[in-house]
Structure 1
Amino acid sequence: MSVITPERTETPSAAPRGQLHIQTVGRLREMIMNGVLPPGARLREVQLCGALGVSRTPVREALRTLAAEGLVDLLPNKSVVVARLRAPDIVHLYRVFGALEGLAGELACARVTADEIAEIGRLLSEMVDLHAKADRTGYMAINHAIHRRVVEISANPILEAQWRTLLPRVERARALANLDRDRWSAALFEHSKMFAALAGRDGPLLNRLTREHFLNGLPSTTAQAERAAEGPTG
């Protein structure tokens, strides 16, 4: 199992404890999402403290938060490793998350305003441009914004809470799917159909298309996860 020593980043300015916790979680989450801390990597508190410029307390608390999100595993020997993406887990995750987003889409269709439709349409146009430029990072940011707005428009706080709980694991898996150029292009086309359903306020159709969108991404995502699992563990 490899031990990762990330490069030192800029030391954060003094901040209230709650804000420091949020910053530390965000930076570690980004390092996991971007592959700086790859699956299976062992995380040592002392090294993370040095890299992030913070004390052990915010690092320890951040690791507990990331464990609750499913991004790291806390092992019985008190060591911490970046969680591996396992194909069976991704299948279960996508089915549940697709159902949540499908329901959110159906609820949103009953509430969405003309201004909100125009807003999401502009985001979709940005996503098309980013795809043409092969800008995966920018594309994923806009993709997230579109999905988040639909969930927000659904105005169901219980649904949104569950969605946010699962989101970090889904975003990590979704990034794998878009490593496949063909799947990336297909996903963009699916987004255009989903937007048309939203603009037409066809809730049942958007529900179905959203579920299919996640299921269609499974073969590529699980294949990428299996390839990553075959890599060396150090």
Structure 2
Amino acid sequence: MQRGDRELPAGRSEDTRRTRPSANKPTMSRRVPFAHQVANDLRDRIIRGDLPPGGRIVERALCEMLAVSRTPLREALKLLEVEGLVELSQNKGARIMSFTPEEASNLFEVIAGLESLAAEIAATRIEAADLDRLDDMHARMLVHYRLQEKDPYFELNSTIHDTIVRLSGNPILIATHSNLMLRARRGRYMAIIDPLRWEESVNEHEALMAALHARDAEAARRVWKRHLLRTGETVCVVLMEAGGSQVAAADDMAT
């Protein structure tokens, strides 16, 4: 038994033990399995770079950070291992998977093909109600851009991308894209670090919305493919420039 743990009454598992939420941590929902909630929190921290690529995972530190016990944390790490975000090793312990420029280039090359195809299909099939919803999300995303609010901007941006893919109506495309984005989403977040690229990206979103309103499938495909390829290029540059600092951050995390 770890220091600070207490013995639980019979019939009560450690996973159901309540922990007192920190004042600056959201209360976890009871509607989602607890380990999945922990995995969602960790995934967000990995995407945003709070847990640096290559960093060694110290269970005690993460338990304190998330205000959880070790059992749900370990279950969450197994979920993230399946997603390719965490590496678990009996000999070396657990680490955040590295994200290399080469991997980013390969990922976004494929994602550009998938999402541009989805945009092309969506432009010919999109219904007025779906277009209205996209218009609303796009308008709210622009507000966050003008206020330089990266996190809410990123969430809406990701939702728009995922919606375009869903509107393709192609289940194979949707499933393949979802699987790839488990690894690539943190790269997409990196792309808005560059202010010039962020502005360029917003303009590309504007161009896509214009193409969808015009029902111009070719323009939608062309705009969206260029958008994703440029994002991939930016991610590669960010990763190459941050190589040294990521190593240092990973070392700090392990101490």
Q: TM-score, normalised by structure 1?
A: 0.87
Partner SS, residue 29 of structure 1? helix
Task: Determine the structure 2 residue equivalent to 1:41.
Answer: 55
Q: Which residue of 1 aligns with 2:227?
A: 213
Q: 1:218 to 1:46 in 2, by over 3 A?
A: same
Residue type at the aligned position of 2:73: V
Residue in structure 2 matched with residue 178 of structure 1 by the alignment: 192
Distance 1:71 1:204, change over 3 A: same
SS at match of 1:207: helix
Residues 76-129 of structure 1: per-residue CA shift (max 9 Å, x gap): 625111122210000000011111111211222232111211221122122222
Q: Which residue of the partner structure matches residue 110 of structure 1?
A: 124
- Is 1:97 the counterpart of 2:103? The answer is no
The separation in 2 between residues aligned to 1:104 and 1:139, in whole angstroms, is 22
1:137 shift after superposition: 1.1
Q: Name the SS for the 1:43 alignment partner.
A: coil
1:144 aligns with 2:158: yes
Residue 203 of structure 1: aligned partner:
217
Say how many residue pairs are matched: 226
Could you tell me whether the CA contact under 8 Å between 2:135 and 2:209 is conserved in 1?
yes
Go from structure 1 to structure 2 and tell me whether the alpha carbon gap of 1:53 and 1:12 turns closer, same or farther (over 3 Å shift).
Answer: farther
Instruction: Please state if 1:19 is matched with 2:27.
Output: no
Provide the secondary structure at the position in 1 that maps to 2:95. strand
What's the CA shift string for 1:33-91, capped at 9, x where partnerless? 22221122111334333433434332222212212222222346251111222100000
- For the pair 1:189 / 2:209, whether they are aligned, the reply is no
State yes or no: 1:129 paired with 2:130: no
Contact 1:177–1:183 (8 Å) recurs in 2: yes
d(CA) in 1 for partners of 2:186 and 2:116? 20
Counterpart AA for 1:61: E
Q: 2:76 aligns with which of 54, 59, 62?
A: 62
Query: Percent of aligned positions with the same letter in both sequences?
Result: 32
Q: Deviations along 1:142-190, whole A, 9 cap, x unmatched?
A: 1112112112222222211111112232220011111000000001001
> Relative to 1, partners in 2 of residues 1:24 and 1:203: Cα closer, same or farther, differing over 3 Å?
same
User: Does the aligned pair in 1 maintain the 2:28–2:37 contact within 8 Å?
Assistant: no
Secondary structure, aligned partner of 1:201: coil
SS of 1:154 mapped into structure 2: coil
Q: Distance in 2 between matches of 1:75 and 1:205?
A: 47
Residues 14 and 91 of structure 1, relative CA distance in 2, 3 Å threshold = closer
Contact 1:94 1:218 in 2 (8 A): yes
TM value normalised by structure 2: 0.80
**Structure exhibiting the larger radius of gyration computed from Cα positions:** 2
Compare 59-68 and 70-79 and name the one that shifted more.
Answer: 70-79
CA distance in 2, matches of 1:14, 1:191: 33
How far apart are 1:11 and its partner, in Å?
9.1
The residue aligned with 1:72 is 86
Coordinate RMSD, CA, aligned: 2.2
Contact 2:63 2:73 in 1 (8 A): yes
